[in-house]
Chain A
Amino acid sequence: MAQSGSTTVPPRQGRYYVPQPMPWPIMGSFSLFCLMLGGVFVMNGVAGGWVGMALGLMVLLYMMFRWFGDVIRESEGGKYGGWEDLSFRWGMSWFIFSEVMFFAGFFGALFWLRVMSVPDLASLQSNTYLWPGFTSHWPSAGPGFEGKFSPMGAWGIPALNTALLLSSGVTVTIAHWAMKEGKRAVLNWFLFFTILLGVIFLGFQAYEYAHAYSDLNLKLSTGAYGSTFFMLTGFHGFHVTCGAIMLLVIWLRCLAGHFKPEHHFAFEGVAWYWHFVDVVWLGLFIFVYWL
């Protein structure tokens, strides 16, 4: 990570780059507003929701293209020196920390349900007055769940996926090393492998979901287990998707000859993010699939 910012004052070379006014931020807000309002309408069966969402998505994509385009232009135009670079490092670190806390909330929910609420629902009092016959076990879909479901095993696809993501962590590190050595061909190839591994991971994940829905009777609505399983792996999958898209952008930029051996924070930021996604998966593998 970046150098510690404790009491040493960071180097200030030259003038700090303050970007020009731009309409992208408000466009971003507007697009989110449309997406959300549209989404709410869709969820509640109000007409017009899909239109709002489509509009929001389009504006969002446009905004991202333009905003990132500007940033890339500024970066390649040499606007960002060491001082700005350090800002990016701090910014990305804290952003990842916020993501960690987001997942912490869901892991917290998982532990609470497993350790506290399901056993409580099977306590003697609970059995006597509310839920006769319910016994504590995990995976559980709760006392109101009728029917049967099978949990997701750990040692099939999930274990394979673990291997895939871990290897992708290795390939992206090799790519980084190649970047620093100026070995562009190695860089491009290993970045490509990283993305490929990510995409395969997602493919397996999708296959696994389909399998859960069609063969295991394991759904989002399958009580505590279904809720935590799908929400945790689902948000993780969403983050992998974002990470893969980010890697793709970086790959295209590498192919276009961007970045220098000593100046490539965009690449590093994405690599950090990718490692973060990796670590979350390890947590998932252990606590959702395995134990």
Chain B
Amino acid sequence: MSAVIDNHGHAHGHDGHHDHHGGYGGLMRWITTTNHKDIGTLYLWFSFLMFMVGGVLALAIRLELFEPGIQFFNPDLFNQFTTMHGLIMVFGAIMPAFVGFANWQIPMMIGAPDMAFARLNNWSFWLLPFAAALLVLSFFMPGGAPGVGWTLYAPLTVQMGIGMDLTIFAVHLLGMSSILGSINIITTILNMRAPGMTLMRMPMFCWTWLITAYLLVAAMPVLAGAVTMSLTDRHFGTSFFNAAGGGDPVLYQHIFWFFGHPEVYIIALPAFGVVSQVIPAFSRKPLFGYASMVYATSAIAILSFIVWAHHMYTVGMPVQGQLFFMYATTLIAVPTGVKVFNWVATMWKGSLSFETPMLFAMGFLFLFTLGGFTGLVCALVPIDIQIHDTYYVVAHFHYVMVAGALFAAFAGIYFWLPKWTGRMYDEALGKWHFWLTMIFFNMIFFVQHFLGLAGMPRRIPDYPLMFETWNKISSIGAFGFGLSQLLFLYVVLKAIRRGAKAPERPWEGADSLEWTHLPTPAPYHSFETAPVLK
């Protein structure tokens, strides 16, 4: 199996950096590490912590919405919860989770010794906790965290207190982290591949990350610009978003969504990558349509920059604008469809087995497609005029982000955990986790489509009586979903601490380098000399 290379055998001590954990021990090891696996681990745990925080905020939202009337939180606090839930889940939980995967996997998948800029890699991670600290701190400032929604629309932002400024700077740090991380990933993929690992032979996960990283480098600076303008509008008398000075609140939305729409594919593409590894592995059959997958991903990335105003159909743009953005948006269904069909075709006539990673990947496929269809419904101007800013949109994006990205992340964790830790998780508990998650997820969010169609606006702490039943169901689902994630934590901890020892090739169908050319668990330093590829 993992026969080929000398990954531990070489002489130690050229610079001392080949010591097992580098120069430091204990906590300092984690703070200073330049090892891609350590940094990947840090990203993953950080993102799980943020997922808990964001999840608890979501539970607070669902608690308040269990019944009509103001129950627990005043409206101001409710808005703060919604804002921070969105920001923390997107920037703190989902994005770092996939950067964690990238860190662990990309060097192993392309046969590189580490990331191209190992020290910078450490910085990319260590910017995050400080950004998170700023976000959390904002709750404790006079006036609290901003209650403006994760989209931070001007000019409501101008009315907020100190918490708003902290949030703006947190976004700057998060953006820096993403940009540095992405430059690192791009460079690693372009420059560190083992001889013979041509671009068109790379695992699909590396492709989706290459394109994601490009999206990040292009989109994040624009967001930084938008929040900087908000900051100067707040404190330095500029009028970017103030009509009296010739500015325009809608300008903010254009800049934000120029970032924001690519952002949703930044969340989705790495998830596509993970699923493209998992499905072939458990179908014991190569990925169908590799080349068209690459082209489809690129097409999605390119299109994602010309569809942003579908979030803004109601701002009063001219009809030509509405039509252009509608057509462009619906076009994205074509390359996304290609992906969906490819995945199904990969399963077709395979030799399928249904371990937990595969279950989550199929859950992803099923529910993401559903979310994609509701996206298409949103994309049609007349319908969106009805459902914009209602719970229909909330349902849409949780289908693509939770059942999409989060499910894919679960699939990835179960899939690679043996490689990372050398231990197996408990398959029965894993399956329980999947089914509970699946059921409760739909219970929370399927009914929200009905709420939206019937006219319940989003971001409200209280609602008219006719929405009561669906909200109750949704809230109960949310608590069930939350508890199921405690089970996930348990499964992972149990695997790490006393899981059965993983075999060298736990998944017979998995055939990328980390499975074929490295022992399990993967050694601390892998591929210090390049693997030999046929």
Contact = CB atoms under 8 A, between A and B. Distances in A.
Chains A and B directly touch (beta carbon < 8 Å)? yes
Interface of A: 5-7, 9-10, 12, 15-16, 18-26, 28-30, 32-33, 36-37, 39-40, 43-44, 46, 67, 83, 86-87, 90-91, 94-95, 97-99, 101-102, 104-106, 108-109, 112-113, 116-118, 120-121, 140-145, 219-221, 223-228, 230-231
B9 interface: no
B229 A231 contact: yes
Interface in B388-441: none
Given A15-B528, A37-B166, A221-B238, A142 B244 contact: yes
Contacts of A46: 162
B244 A7 contact: no
Contacts of B172: 36
Give the most central of A23, A30, A36, A219: most B CB within 10 Å.
A36
Nearest to B15: A20
B235 interface: yes
7 contacts: A21-B23, A25-B119, A86-B191, A87-B187, A91-B117, A98-B217, A105-B222
Contacts of A140: 246
Interface residues of B, number: 87
B29 interface: yes
B377 interface: no
Interface in B130-179: 130, 133-134, 137, 161-162, 165-166, 169, 172-173, 179
Contacts of A26: 31-32, 122-123, 126
Given A121-B246, A223-B239, A7 B200 contact: yes
Contacts of A43: 165, 234-235
Give the most central of B24, B122, B239, B530: most A CB within 10 Å.
B239
Given A16-B112, A36-B169, A224 B245 contact: yes
B31 A23 contact: yes
Contacts of A40: 162, 165-166, 169
Contacts of B250: 117
A99 to B, nearest CB: 7
Given A9-B198, A44-B165, A113-B247, 10 more contacts: A21-B33, A26-B32, A30-B130, A33-B133, A90-B187, A101-B217, A116-B248, A121-B246, A145-B244, A145-B245
Given A23-B31, A90-B191, A108-B258, A29 B165 contact: no
Nearest to A118: B246
A21 B36 CA distance: 12
A9 B190 contact: no
A193 B182 CA distance: 35
Nearest to B164: A40
Contact of B123 (A25, A98, A142): A25
B192 interface: yes
B255 A87 contact: no
Contact of B247 (A28, A99, A142): A142
A21 B191 contact: no
Contact of A109 (B33, B169, B251): B251
A29 B179 contact: no
B119 A227 contact: no
Contacts of B129: 29
Nearest to A67: B119
Contacts of A29: 123, 126-127, 129-130, 173
Nearest to B128: A29
Interface string B241-259: 0111111101100110010
B221 interface: yes
A220 B198 CA distance: 52
B254 A108 contact: yes
Given A21-B24, A25-B123, A32 B173 contact: yes
Given A7-B199, A33-B130, A98-B179, A39 B187 contact: no
Contact of B183 (A9, A23, A91, A121): A91
Contacts of B165: 39-40, 43-44
Given A94-B187, A108-B258, A220 B251 contact: no
Given A7-B198, A90-B186, A144 B119 contact: no
Nearest to B243: A121
B240 interface: yes
B196 interface: yes
B162 to A, nearest CB: 5
B246 A225 contact: yes
Nearest to A42: B235
Contacts of B184: 91
A90 B190 contact: yes
B232 A231 contact: yes
A25 B195 CA distance: 32
Nearest to A22: B32
Nearest to B250: A117
Contact of A36 (B16, B134, B221): B134
